[in-house]
Chains A and B, each alone.
Chain A
Amino acid sequence: RKEVEQDPGPFNVPEGATVAFNCTYSNSASQSFFWYRQDCRKEPKLLMSVYSSGNEDGRFTAQLNRASQYISLLIRDSKLSDSATYLCVVTMNSGNTPLVFGKGTRLSVIA
């Protein structure tokens, strides 16, 4: 079983739509959680950290369910510029260990 699993998509949505991505992780010792965004042939860029209480950054909302080992990302009012691959990321310890990436979920926002 992969450590971090995501639906690869692609998700093709019209502009203005709301889209949600889910991710599960296998190691219950995981402590830090992130969503990274990766544009085609570019490096991953941190989109947002994910906290147990849930957190929101503009149109983006991230949620963490430790009991179910499940992370989600919600994008509201999708823009064309949101088209990218979204990578679910976990780390096992606090800041001293490598990131473990899912394969990513590809999003295409269509005009």
Chain B
Amino acid sequence: DTGVSQNPRHKITKRGQNVTFRCDPISEHNRLYWYRQTLGQGPEFLTYFQNEAQLEKSRLLSDRFSAERPKGSFSTLEIQRTEQGDSAMYLCASSPRQAFEQYFGPGTRLTVT
């Protein structure tokens, strides 16, 4: 399967714990995006990388959130001191150079208890 992959697919954690998600984009896609989706809403943008550079961050990305893409390939999204409001589906998407469309991974569903 050469699509975007995300791990883990599901994560249940207790409030206050840290969690880290991984995204592997489609190979040679230089742009990578993180989105968050809650029930009944469309995905909302969190942050964006072009190669290894983080070019944009949403105001939704509080100080507890950090994302990296150290070698311009896979990316990680870490949430520190999770809160119940962080419960959502975290989606990663990638896009090739000069293209507008984004291709999404299956998401990581986070439940904070």
Given contacts A98-B56, A99-B43, contact A43 B101 (CB under 8 A): no
Contacts of A49 in B (CB 8 A): 100-101
Q: How many residues in B have their beta carbons less than 8 Å from beta carbons of A?
A: 27
Q: How many residues in A have their beta carbons less than 8 Å from beta carbons of B?
A: 24
| A104 CA / B104 CA spacing, docked (Å) | 16
**B94: min CB distance to chain A, Å:** 12
**B16: min CB distance to chain A, Å:** 27
Question: CB of A25 within 8 A of chain B?
Answer: no
Question: CB of B21 within 8 A of chain A?
Answer: no
**A95 in complex: contacting residue of B44, B91, B98, B107, CB < 8 Å:** B98
Q: Which residues of B are in contact with A by a Cβ distance under 8 Å?
A: 31, 33, 35, 40-45, 48, 50, 55-56, 58, 91, 93, 95, 98-107
Give me 9 A-to-B residue pairs in the complex whose CB atoms sit less than 8 angstroms apart, sorted by A's number: A32-B100, A34-B100, A34-B101, A94-B100, A95-B95, A98-B35, A99-B43, A99-B93, A101-B43
